[in-house]
Amino acid sequence: MKTSPLVLIIDDERKLVRSLELALKEAGVEARGAFDGASGLKLAAEIAPDAVLLDLKLPDLSGVEVLEALKKSRPDCPVIMISAHGDTRAAVQCVKAGASDYLTKPFDLDELVHLIGSTLERRQVAEELAYRRALGANDALIVGEHPATQRLRQQVARVAMSGARTILLLGASGTGKAVVARAIHQDSERCKGPFVEVNCASLPEQLLEAELFGAEKGAYTGAHQRRVGLVTLADRGTLFLDEIGELAPPLQAKLLSFLENRTYRALGSGREAAADVRVVAATNRDLSADVRSGRFREDLYYRLNVFPVELPPLKDRGDDVFLLMAHFAERFAHDEGCEPIRLGEEARELFRAHPWPGNVRELRNLVERLTILHPGQMIEPGHLPPEMKVPGANRPDAGRVLPDQLAAAERDLLLEALTRARGQKGRAAQFLGISRHALKRRLKRLNLD
């Protein structure tokens, strides 16, 4: 099983097609050939290629007719035209009709391989940018109509347009503090500036200081080059400090100094620098209790707590659970290239009764799992994890989808589909009800290469 790009070659010169298949294989690109327009269109529908190499002159259809049909069925698939000498004008017309490029015969195989590689790379970058833009927009959505959600949305709107330089988000784990932080940024006058996020619990103290404030070359072991800090990168934008309660005491003092003066020094530097940054901090800890115990600096707590925003747990948001479920179902269906899942009546009752100890994150993980396992289906109680079928289940780990369980189930499904498809990723994707690109992403993530 390979995750290499797949190119379809439609040309009636069989020796040329064979030579191209071998040349592309050496370059790490899988290729399939068709020798007339009709079989090429049929094969394109079956294998969902990443790019098409199309001859202008075919025995049954013209290259222009095949191009138009391909663009109707797969508008995002790049098509490179191959033309003989004297067909340049027609090739240019094809480019105007949607072809991404063209080559004239005879051509150098290395030139062709390079052109295909560039075409595939451009498509991948375009898809990634579109995906990230959509993801960023979705990440800033505060979904729900419950009064508690409406109050949160109103608070976000007020604080976003205020002059508050520090904001503290409070709430249990999984309530969506990162979503609220991004919404504050996008609703503010700083929306055109950067949004920079760091998890304060993810790095050792010294590395976190270098991550935040930067470091000069040689400032610590392993600092082989100068490092620009996230505070610098967030200038004129928003810096989101997640898990602020996990910050070590020495770094608490340095963060306090920055919040008071908006100046800082990189590790190993004797020069002060300034940054115009709004700081949004978040924690699931009781910082006031940590202040009393001496674990968190009192002066830093009051500096951060200028405008506190508390996020309600999912169990207190009523039917928002169904609006969030539909939101995530649409999002994951888009990622997987399938129809969104829906809830049957009995499943809806279980969703309504479940305490959601993992909050919105638990719901999101469950919807992702259900989309992978049952794409486009009506979800019934038999599809749900056992803890959701137990009335009153309120264990701390109830309903949580473990990453290893999700990965194992996903791996089994992918392998089964690929076995049925005899290794053909396009057919395997059809069996699973997802797009070929979604299949490739998951194969790569699970190291099934």
The set of residues, in sequence order, having a beta carbon less than 8 Å from that of 435 and lying 6+ positions away, is: 48, 336, 337, 429
Determine the length of the chain. 449
Pairing of strands 79-83, 101-104: parallel
Structural domains of the chain, with CATH: 6-136 (3.40.50.2300), 145-312 (3.40.50.300), 313-330+340-401 (1.10.8.60), 402-449 (1.10.10.60)
Listed in sequence order, the residues at least 6 apart from 404 whose beta carbon sits closer than 8 Å to its beta carbon are none
For residue 428, count other CB atoms closer than 10 A to its CB: 24
So what's the pLDDT on residue 128? 53
Segment-wise mean pLDDT, segments of 10 residues, the chain, 449 residues: 75 89 84 93 91 91 90 88 72 78 79 78 61 51 91 93 94 94 92 89 82 82 74 91 92 93 87 92 94 94 93 94 93 89 92 93 94 92 84 44 63 81 80 74 76
Contact 116, 53 (CB under 8 A): yes
Q: Which residue has the tokens 């099983």?
A: 1
Check if the beta carbon of residue 277 is closer than 8 Å to that of residue 239.
yes
pLDDT at residue number 222: 67
Contact 17, 33 (CB under 8 A): yes
3-state secondary structure the chain: CCCCCEEEEECCCHHHHHHHHHHHHHCCCEEEEECCHHHHHHHHHHHCCCEEEEECECCCCEHHHHHHHHHHHCCCCCEEEEECCCCHHHHHHHHHCCCCEEEECCCCHHHHHHHHHHHHHHHHHHHHHHHHHHHHHHHCCCCCCCHHHHHHHHHHHHHHHCCCCEEEEECCCCCCHHHHHHHHHHCCCCCCCCEEEEECCCCCHHHHHHHHHCECCCCCCCCCCCECCHHHHCCCEEEEEECHHHCCHHHHHHHHHHHHHCEECCECCCCCEECCEEEEEEECCCHHHHHHHCCCCHHHHHHHCCCEEECCCHHHCCCHHHHHHHHHHHHHHHHHCCCCCEECHHHHHHHHHCCCCCHHHHHHHHHHHHHHHCCCCEECHHHCCHHHHCCCCCCCCCCCCCHHHHHHHHHHHHHHHHHHCCCCHHHHHHHHCCCHHHHHHHHHHCCCC
How far, in whole angstroms, is CA 184 from its chain's centroid?
A: 20
Residue-level pLDDT at 1? 36
CA distance 354 to 329: 18
220 burial level (CB within 10 Å; 0-12, 13-18, 19+): middle
Round to the nearest angstrom and report the end-to-end CA distance of the chain: 6
Closest to 192 measured CA to CA, from 229, 149, 237: 237
The answer to whether the beta carbons of residues 52 and 79 sit under 8 Å apart is yes
Distance CA 49, CA 32 (A): 9
**How many Å apart are CA 89 and CA 104, to the nearest integer?**
11
Place of tokens 């075409």: 119
* Residues 283 and 245: beta-carbon distance below 8 Å: yes
Q: In terms of pTM, does the model score above 0.85?
A: no
Query: At residue 200, what is the residue type?
Result: C
